[in-house]
């Protein structure tokens, strides 16, 4: 699927982060086809990941059936199921959506059509945004929601759900598998670089560090962090990533107060070599949407400037041309 097709496929309420970001490059770099649904990869014991075609899909095999966390772009359900069938014949019983974007819930309909009693689980705010979208597929609507903490199953099959505030959207769920010391983080962390922020669903660069820090304190005994796209990271990697997002906001606050440009703030952030992993200048392997880590950091500094000034956020896909106010120009195709 070409990135232009993804722009059409991913619409939530007005302009969504996944749709506009589907054109990789931000600074005019051209895109390439989004990777298709890939082969299933074992993470640990009964936990697997299926990459490509939008979000990672996490597969958790329980005594009663299969739990899927996120279902990629639309029309990938059969391909997901084909991969699941290589490791188990159990039915899919539960879908957990980490947030509202249709690169994470796009194939819910395949599983609901196959088994109407399949339960869709998400945060309260995710249901709010689905309900507000007149173009939403009915299968995106959660059957079960939670506010702050929820638990599904028991024993080794237990799943814990947490919400700590806004970040990528205002409905981002942390999905924890305690017996396996593993966690899905959705697009609060993807490709190990600063997340794209969706202001249409109340995502916020200002709120993001608080949310991540609350998760660090509130979630215990996790070793593996399955990112929304790309990597399986470590808890230490998540901690470093949280520190980076706090540092980015702090630099933006100080630089704005001094009357400096976002580019000057970025240069200040780059001085801390501890954050070099989040500031790379090359496109990462397998990247589906977005740009380089360094470009993502600059995008979020621009967003922070607008949030701090109380302005509508128009720079969440790239700075406006000419450095002035107004929406960012679309990247070249």
pLDDT in tens, 25-43: 333 233 457 889 999 999 9
CB atoms within 10 A of CB 89: 7
DSSP letters spanning 226-262: EESSS-EEEHHHHHHHHHHHHHHHHHHHHHHHTT--H
Please state whether the predicted TM-score (pTM) of the whole model is above 0.85.
yes
Phi and psi at residue 290, to the nearest 5°: 115, -145
Q: Compute the average pLDDT of residues 160-189.
A: 98
Supply the pLDDT for residue 284: 82
Q: Cα separation of 153 and 192, whole Å?
A: 30
Predicted confidence (pLDDT) per residue in 63-119, tens digit = 999 999 999 999 999 999 999 999 999 999 999 999 999 999 999 999 999 999 999
Chain centre to alpha carbon of residue 192: 11
CB atoms within 10 A of CB 43: 18
83: its two tokens: 């991969």
Q: Cα separation of 139 and 142, whole Å?
A: 8
Tell the residue number behind the tokens 């679309």, with chain if given.
Answer: 330
In angstroms, the Cα distances linking 295 to 74, 227, 255, 271, 328 are 28, 19, 18, 16, 14
In angstroms, the Cα distances linking 305 to 35, 39, 196, 263, 322 are 34, 41, 15, 11, 16
């Amino acid at each position: 699927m070409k990135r232009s097709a993804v722009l059409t496929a991913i619409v939530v309420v007005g302009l969504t982060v996944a749709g506009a970001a589907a054109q990789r490059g931000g600074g005019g770099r051209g895109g390439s086809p989004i990777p298709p649904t890939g082969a299933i990869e074992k993470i640990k014991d009964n936990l697997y990941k299926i990459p490509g075609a939008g979000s990672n899909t996490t597969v958790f095999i329980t005594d009663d059936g299969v739990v899927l966390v996120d279902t990629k772009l639309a029309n990938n359900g059969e391909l997901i199921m084909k991969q699941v069938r290589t490791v188990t014949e159990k039915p899919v019983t539960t879908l957990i959506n980490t947030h509202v974007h249709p690169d994470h819930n796009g194939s819910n309909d395949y599983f609901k059509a196959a088994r109407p009693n399949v339960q869709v689980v998400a945060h309260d705010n995710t249901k709010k945004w689905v309900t507000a979208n007149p173009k939403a597929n009915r299968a995106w609507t959660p059957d079960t929601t939670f506010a702050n903490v929820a638990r599904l199953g028991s024993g080794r099959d237990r799943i814990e759900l947490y919400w700590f505030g806004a970040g990528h959207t205002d409905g981002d769920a942390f999905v924890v598998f305690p017996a396996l010391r593993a966690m899905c983080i959705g697009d609060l962390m993807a490709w190990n670089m600063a997340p794209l922020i969706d202001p249409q669903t109340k995502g916020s660069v200002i709120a993001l560090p608080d949310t991540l820090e609350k998760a660090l304190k509130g979630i215990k005994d996790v070793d593996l962090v399955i990112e929304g796209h790309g990597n399986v990271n470590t808890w230490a990697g998540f901690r470093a990533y949280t520190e980076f997002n706090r540092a980015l906001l702090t630099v933006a606050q100080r630089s704005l107060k001094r009357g400096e440009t976002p580019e000057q703030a970025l240069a200040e952030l780059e001085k801390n070599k501890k954050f070099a992993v989040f500031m790379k200048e090359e496109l990462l392997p397998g990247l589906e949407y977005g740009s380089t880590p360094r470009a993502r950091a600059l995008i979020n500094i621009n967003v922070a400037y607008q949030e701090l000034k109380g302005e509508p956020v128009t720079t969440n896909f790239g700075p406006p041309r000419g450095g002035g106010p107004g929406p960012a120009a679309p990247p070249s195709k």
